[in-house]
């Protein structure tokens, strides 16, 4: 047998060492790549529509409260924020709705519906908004914001959780 065709002990050690090194590199490298890519693969909920109520639960003329949580993912940081608002059914017509934000337009405190006062009261600086979100008194510079909505055949009200300026 010629010397060039022989698989020497040195070759065997080289191949075995290379194979073991490759296995170790894969064992460390694959989880590391997964860790680095994971944030990009997670689902950010910002901007996704949310079902907030069913039409059959909402009385006509009385603001109906709702809330929802949006989880935002920024790299490895996950932040959950709770948002809220009120749905006002103005008449029997299912499309005659106002979906108001509960965020005060002064400094972003949460307003609450007060049946006795007949308006939304902001506890931070004693402001009041009427049933449709217009400023009655206090420092807020603008009406309450609102959300766009859709109603499906089952009466589920879905909103796009991006607050629009009130009118
Ligand atoms: S935050 Fe609502 S009145 Fe100031």
Structural domain spans, the chain: 3-41, 50-159
Q: What is the pLDDT of residue 4?
A: 52
Ligand 1 centroid – CA 59 distance (Å): 27
Per the CB < 8 A criterion, the answer to whether 121 and 112 are in contact is yes
Q: What is the pLDDT of residue 78?
A: 86
What gap in Å lies between CA 82 and CA 72, rounded to an integer?
A: 11
Q: Within the chain, how many helices (H) and strands (E) appear?
A: 1, 10
Token pair of 111, please? 């307003």
Instruction: From the CA of 125, give the closest atom in ligand 1.
Output: 3
Q: What is the pLDDT of residue 41?
A: 55
85 lines ligand 1 (CB under 6 A): no
Strands 97-101 vs 119-122: parallel, antiparallel or unpaired:
unpaired
Rounded average pLDDT per 10-residue block, the chain, 167 residues: 64 82 76 62 69 96 94 84 94 94 97 97 98 98 96 95 85
106 lines ligand 1 (CB under 6 A): yes
Topology of the domain comprising 50-159 = Rieske Iron-sulfur Protein (2.102.10)
Q: What is the pLDDT of residue 10?
A: 80
Q: What is the pLDDT of residue 72?
A: 83
Nearest C-alpha neighbor of 145 from the set 126, 123, 167 = 167
Burial profile 130-148: b = 16 or more Cβ within 10 angstroms, e = fewer: ebbbbbeeeebeebbbbbe
């Amino acid at each position: 047998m010629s010397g060039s065709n022989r698989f020497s002990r040195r070759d065997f050690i080289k191949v075995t060492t290379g194979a073991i090194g490759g296995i170790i590199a894969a064992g460390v490298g694959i989880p590391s790549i997964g860790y680095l890519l994971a944030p990009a693969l997670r689902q950010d909920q910002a901007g996704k529509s949310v079902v907030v109520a069913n039409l059959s639960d909402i009385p006509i003329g009385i603001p109906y409260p709702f809330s929802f949580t949006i989880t935002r993912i920024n790299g490895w940081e996950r932040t959950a924020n709770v948002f809220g608002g009120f749905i006002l059914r103005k008449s029997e017509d299912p499309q005659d709705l106002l979906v108001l934000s509960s965020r005060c337009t002064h400094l972003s405190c949460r307003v609450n519906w007060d049946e006795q006062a007949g308006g939304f009261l902001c506890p931070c600086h004693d402001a009041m908004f009427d049933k449709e979100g217009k400023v009655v008194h206090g420092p807020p510079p603008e009406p309450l914001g609102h959300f766009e909505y859709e109603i499906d055949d089952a009466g589920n009200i879905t909103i796009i959780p991006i607050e629009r300026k009130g009118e």
